[in-house]
Amino acid sequence: MNKKQRAQAIKTLFLHHYPNPKTELKYNNLYELLVSVMLSAQCTDKRINLVTPALFAKYPTPALLAQAPLESVKELIKSVSFFNNKAQNLIKMAQQVLHTFDGKIPTTQEELKTLAGVGQKTANVVLIEYFEANFMAVDTHVFRTSHRLGLSYAKSAQQTEADLTKAFKTDLSILHQAFVLFGRYICKAQKPQCQQCFVQDFCMTQSNFKPA
C-alpha cells in the first residue's frame, strides 16, 4: 500500500466512524462560536462551556463586548488559560468587528485572520464548524494523531495542515472534527485507548507529538 492509498484507507475509516462530527463547544451564533474558539486555545472545551454562558449573558453582541471594561472580561474568563491576553484580544476583536466589518463577524479566512487573537487555526475552526468549509485545522489532537498515523512528519501545525490537506483533499471539515474527537477520547496523549482504535493497523508509534 503506497502513501496515497494509505491516506485514503485512513480517510475512509474516519468518515465511517464519525459520519457527522461536531465541536463540543456550545454556541448559538457566529459571534459566540468565534469567542469560544478564541478562548479554547490551550484550554479544554469543557472549561470554555462553563465560562461562556455568563460572558454571553453580559456581552451578547460584538458591540457590547467592544465597550466592555477589561477587568470585567478578565473576571468572567479568569479560569481560562492565558485569560489576561485573551480578555484583551476579545475586546480588541469586537472593536475591529464593529469598526471594520459593520458589527458583523467576517466569514472568510483572510478577513478573520485580521482580527486580534485570530490565527489561521482559529479562523479555520470557525469556518469548518459554522460553514462546513473544506479546511483542515491542526490543534494538539490533530497534530498528535496525524503524526502517530504517519500522515505527516512536519514539525509545525501549519505544515501539518498543508500535509493533511494535500493527503485528503476533500471532506476536510468532517475529518478535522473527527480527528479532534479521536484524539480526545481514543488516541490520547497519555495512555491511548489502543483496544478501541479503529485505525490501529496504521499506527506507527505511541509517541506524544507536539508542534515545535
Query: 5-56: per-residue pLDDT in tens?
Result: 999 999 999 999 999 999 999 999 999 999 999 999 989 999 999 999 999 9
Q: Where in the chain is the domain with CATH 1.10.340.30?
A: 30-131
Per-residue confidence band for 212, with pLDDT thresholds at 50, 70 and 90: confident
Q: What is the pLDDT of residues 103-160, one digit of tens each?
A: 999 999 999 999 999 999 999 999 999 999 999 999 999 999 999 999 999 999 999 9
Per-residue confidence band for 68, with pLDDT thresholds at 50, 70 and 90: very high
Residue 163 has pLDDT above 90, yes or no: yes
139 counts as catalytic: yes
Identify the architecture of domain 30-131 in CATH. Orthogonal Bundle (1.10)
Helices (H), the chain: 3-17, 30-40, 45-58, 62-66, 70-76, 83-100, 109-112, 120-131, 140-148, 157-168, 172-185
Residue 75 has pLDDT above 90, yes or no: yes
Among candidate residues 124, 59, 125, 44, the one with its CA nearest the CA of residue 93: 59
46 counts as catalytic: no
What's the mean per-residue pLDDT of the chain?
A: 97
Instruction: Give pLDDT, residue 96.
Output: 98
Q: Residue written as cell 507536539?
A: 210
CATH fold of 3-21+136-202 reads Endonuclease Iii, domain 2 (1.10.1670)
Q: Where in the chain is the domain with CATH 1.10.1670.10?
A: 3-21+136-202
Out of 11, 121, 163, 191, pick the active-site residue.
121
Instruction: Give pLDDT, residue 93.
Output: 98
CB contact at 8 A, 179 and 7: no
User: How far is 143 from 211, CA to CA, in rounded Å?
Assistant: 7
Out of 11, 74, 86, 139, pick the active-site residue.
139
Residue 183 has pLDDT above 90, yes or no: yes
